[in-house]
Chain A
């Protein structure tokens, strides 16, 4: 029975779907809880605004939820999709897609809770800038979703593109590695982008007139902290679309799997670290807008240094794919 291809595909689709939704539920729930906690603190400071705060909390939570809605879509696809051209590689691709979306939703879910929470808090501080604050929160948390969108794209590609022409033996590892690479690397970048967005909402509430500078630096900081997940995406594309010679040796498969693991785990730290750098820069630009240029340069240099570990991980991945 274990040689039956359809059984393997079902096994992969069901476990992959379970992984996608199970892991994908972690992040958004934490982010929404953080938002609710900040909203509680805000209501206790000024009970008269409780209606506005509740509205702001619900909008923020709805956006934080989107990462796990992506995971839900992928999970449902995996559970109910019928495969047109079944082969053992399809099974590997489905499992990889599930893993990718599951891990990828964690960071963005937690991250987009920060801007929502800080927006609720800021609303109490400066009720008259509610409009600016909401716009800033929406931009910040939408950009936070980028790593989750990357993972959803890789998951959809793994599910829908027909890989069955490639040789089974090294390619199965490449497909699972492609899922792990983008999925794991998205954790750090989503979280880090959230830190920057949260600081910008706090900053807008403190100094509403700095909103232009604060939003620009937030976007640059978030963009740079997404670099880690972009390296993961690059490795995923290379793993998915390179053609491999058939080889029964276990080392060939393990090299490709390890390449995905390397760039995936390697991206977690730099994403969070770059987000912290961006958080600091955004927070202090809001207090000291005269020095925006200097603060931004310090942030970029610091981020470049903290990013170097992601670059080491990417170099090792590329070596594992092309050299070994």
Chain B
């Protein structure tokens, strides 16, 4: 039970400040990236007009996510943002699923991963908004309905980062904690595989999808 909330950290003192690195998370993130690169290489290795093998899986990911992006944004914009959205979904899906393997941890279990992805989505959405509406119109929207509401509008925008990243973090970390505690209570007999199937595979896939869709939706709300 001591595993609850334990993190392996490397603390480097630099000029009076401590730089803390969460080694587990960094290692697991690189493993996920490497696996995705291998997957990408394998899908395009034997390309053909008639797709077969892994190429089908790769094309399915790309075409489904392009279609979802086109639904939310228009066709021109979708071309620009769909690669990002596809990559985000595949990264999150693998991040959430990798915890199924013993001794592997989900990088999304640590708040740093979802928070940085959430901040990334926030900046991309606002960049897209400023670019399509112009800075004047963009700033004007904060002063609606009256300019006194501006601070609250800003807090409302910032709270989107909190809600999108904590939703993913809470679900994945919650699943991991419940699996850990229940496995401890039942001495790892019978129950854990079912719990992992529910929390890791099912909830993991849904939350990866929700995070990706919300990023698209935040972009589309800023643009229109």
Chain A residues proximal to chain B, CB less than 8 Å: 73, 77, 139, 142-143, 146, 149-150, 152-153, 156-157, 160-161, 213, 216, 219-220, 223-224, 226-227, 230-231, 233-234, 292-293, 296-297, 300-301, 304, 307-308, 311, 314-315
Contact = CB atoms under 8 A, between A and B. Distances in A.
Contact of A315 (B4, B155, B163, B210): B155
B177 A157 contact: yes
Nearest to B149: A308
B162 interface: yes
B1 to A, nearest CB: 6
A296 B171 CA distance: 24
A233 B114 CA distance: 15
A153 B166 contact: no
Nearest to B1: A160
Given A161-B5, A300-B217, A150 B170 contact: yes
Contacts of B198: 142
B207 to A, nearest CB: 9
B156 A223 contact: no
Nearest to B173: A153
Contact of B156 (A230, A297, A308): A308
A156 B152 CA distance: 34
A156 B217 contact: no
A293 to B, nearest CB: 7
Contacts of A314: 159
B68 interface: yes
Interface residues of B, number: 36
A157 B217 CA distance: 33
Contacts of A230: 162-163, 166-167, 170
- For the complex of A and B, the 5 pairs showing the least CB-CB separation, nearest first, are A153-B174, A227-B163, A230-B166, A223-B210, A149-B174
A20 B150 CA distance: 41
Contacts, number: 94
Given A149-B171, A220-B213, A308-B156, A297 B221 contact: yes
B174 A223 contact: no
Which of B72, B166, B175, B185 has the largest number of chain A CB atoms within 10 A? B166
Q: Which label, helix, strand, loop or mixed, suits the secondary structure of the B interface?
A: helix
Given A142-B202, A234-B162, A297-B220, A149 B178 contact: yes
14 contacts: A77-B185, A156-B177, A161-B4, A216-B213, A219-B209, A220-B213, A224-B214, A227-B167, A230-B167, A234-B166, A297-B221, A304-B156, A311-B152, A315-B155
Contacts of B171: 146, 149
Contacts of B156: 304, 307-308, 311
Interface in B171-224: 171, 173-175, 177-178, 181-182, 185, 198, 202-203, 206, 209-210, 213-214, 217, 220-221, 224
A307 B166 CA distance: 16
Nearest to A151: B174
B181 A142 contact: no
A156 B181 contact: yes
